[in-house]
Chain A
Amino acid sequence: MPEAKRDGREPQGRKPNGGGADRRLEDHAEIGRLSDALLPALIAKLATTRLGELEVREGDWRVRLRRPAAPDLNFGRRATDKPSRAQPGHEGHGHARGAPESAAARTTRLTGVGPGDPATAATVTNGTGAVRAALAAARLAEQDRNVAYSPAVGVFHPGSRAAAGTRVRSGDALGSVDVLGVPQDVLAPADGIVATTLVEGGTAVEYGQELVRLELTAPAERR
């Protein structure tokens, strides 16, 4: 649940603003910018980590994103997992040392945020901008949902379902990324029709790279 707040105190160097119309316009512009640029990035970031909460301070705005306690989010959380926040250490020991993850690492899907999605909802707790921010977040989430991303760094191999025109359902494997011989599925983020495959088979790809673009099926067509 994201929330944006203006900090009480004025940051240094900021010219005093008498408030009123100028300030409101500035606020609107800022909320718009935050919801267009920052919010989707934060949502994606939160979805790929196991953090429960993320707070970012930008200028005199704070945006906080909190993961709802939804049991169906598949993050492979184990009872022994610790928060990923490293201790403020040095000597590099601050970088927590752990057992190397197996090659067959868990794949984490980005969870889209949109209207009607019961898992998460976007609100900006600052009066006027709330609706706009929610809509902007939803729109951007919708854009993200038509792209299948690389789950790992490796070599991309498109599958048969990656051919243009193929009708796919959310969670279908569109191909795989080969990590040291272990394939990891590239999953369709939503129901739709494959529009284009952005990367040729056999190409090295990095984590998070856009691989397949979908034409989302309109809600009416959904079963």
Chain B
Amino acid sequence: MFNKILIANRGEIALRILRACRTLGVEAVVAYSEADRDSLAAQLADEAICIGPADARRSYLSAPAVISAAVVTGCDAIHPGYGFLSEDESFAEVVRAHDLTFIGPSPEVLDRFASKEGTRRLLGAHGLATIPGSPMIRDEQHALDEAERIGYPILIKPSAGGGGKGMRMVRTPRELQSALRVARSEAAAAFGDDSLYLELWLEENRHVEVQVAVDKFGAGIHLGERDCSVQRRHQKILEEAPTPALSPAARLDLAERAVKAVVEAGYENVGTLEFLVDAAGNSYFIEINCRIQVEHPVTEMLTGIDLVATQIRIAAGEHLGIRQSDVVINGHAIEFRINAEDPEHDFRPAAGLIESYQAPGGPGIRMDSHLYPGYEVPPFYDSLLGKLIAWGPDRATAIARGKAALDELDITGVTTNVEIHKALLENEVFLEGRMTTSLLDRVGSAAFLAAAARSA
């Protein structure tokens, strides 16, 4: 096991990693930017070190700053959290060149799974159905030919990055031509890589992902799936497990095929395989996330397995220590992402002083948040304030507990998206477990809020 870990992230995930380090008995140093000097993680850490200014490119995204901080504080490993440098294979390589361990897959494994298009081919060869798509697009004519072969509507996707950035859906060749240029420059700006590929757009689909954990000795388990179909502009806002979209037998089949494929393809550490599930229940592999995910607590609530601690143990070269038969999926869990966004004004991000903060409690309730009264939400980073997770022995109980907890949650000072979650829990389509990824955008968040207000 490591002696000391540098946490190269911020917000709730920095705190989450710090807690995992505590339970493992490993010292932790929190690396923070000038804008996060007063963050809860920096305050609670055994040690904290300022690595740069608020601008993430010179702090959380700066490999030299992060690695230098690890070296001068005597750390032997770096936990990158999610976002920032977490899936950057060149960063992982530089970390190793400085005799430090990157907590995540090894650089070779990250490299193997770096290209989404290459990963689809690799895992497709190991038995996962993939969505009809193109190779990397060379030029406009190539794109038009490929689109013709796949059939419209088509989704244009950047090879690097994710989270919906740079993705565009087009219905005609004409739209494709104009969207291609925009998507290319967006991808170049956001990820420093303008490679694009095309994918068939499934009109009504669900986003289901399988959580896996594989140690360095090739022993792998799955921890079931999560349903992340409640999205707004390709951003997840609520996740739950098990998915209401599939039967228990279909869920098990999907998870077993997923873990078999990644073990055969040589994956290592915790990871998530994302699938699109169509109305007929067919699942298509779309991408793998080689890191801890925002919504990992959903799975932790169902299995009782600490995924961050597992991730650290695997990176340290330990055996997984549990078999598939030890993983028991119990009950139902829902995670609500609490964001500093104003649902009434097109989810405009908010920043400012947290005047009051009171986390909810009770059976099955977990709140992962870095807020405290008097904390100032800096305007430089993403708007996630925390995650409220509600567990129950069944979906109805999880929903009822979620409702009560959302009512109990008190955050004043910044506008949050809590109302949209309350509205979702009143929504018939959600209650029946029929949410699809495009539904919230098609109906419009305003209509959701209005409908909930009427029924209240």
Q: Taking beta carbons and an 8 Å cutoff, which residues of A are in contact with B?
A: 12-13, 45, 48-51, 54, 56-59, 80, 82, 84-103, 105, 108, 152-155, 179-180, 182, 204-209
Contact = CB atoms under 8 A, between A and B. Distances in A.
A15 to B, nearest CB: 15
A90 B34 contact: no
Nearest to B352: A57
Chief secondary structure at chain A's binding surface? loop
Given A91-B236, A92-B86, 16 more contacts: A45-B54, A49-B380, A87-B382, A88-B347, A90-B235, A91-B235, A92-B84, A92-B163, A93-B83, A95-B381, A96-B56, A97-B192, A101-B57, A102-B64, A153-B65, A207-B34
Given A90-B337, A100-B63, A179 B165 contact: no
Contacts of A205: 72
Interface residues of B, number: 69
B61 A101 contact: yes
Contact of A92 (B49, B71, B83): B83
Interface string B337-376: 1010100000101001101000000000000000000000
Interface string B377-390: 00111111000000
B339 A90 contact: yes
B382 A155 contact: no
A100 B62 contact: yes
A219 to B, nearest CB: 30
B68 A87 contact: no
Given A58-B353, A97-B191, A208-B50, A92 B64 contact: no
A100 B52 contact: no
B55 A84 contact: yes
Contacts of A182: 64
Contacts of A108: 53
B61 A95 contact: yes
Nearest to B98: A180
B172 interface: no
A98 B63 CA distance: 10
A153 B68 contact: yes
B49 A153 contact: yes
B72 A204 contact: yes
B88 interface: yes
A27 B194 CA distance: 52
Contacts of A93: 83, 161-165
B43 interface: no
B91 interface: yes
Interface in B143-188: 160-165
A50 to B, nearest CB: 6
A108 B71 CA distance: 23
B85 interface: yes
Given A100-B94, A101-B63, A204 B73 contact: yes
Nearest to A44: B34
Contacts of B90: 100
A209 B294 CA distance: 33
B65 A179 contact: yes
Contact of B353 (A57, A206, A208, A209): A57
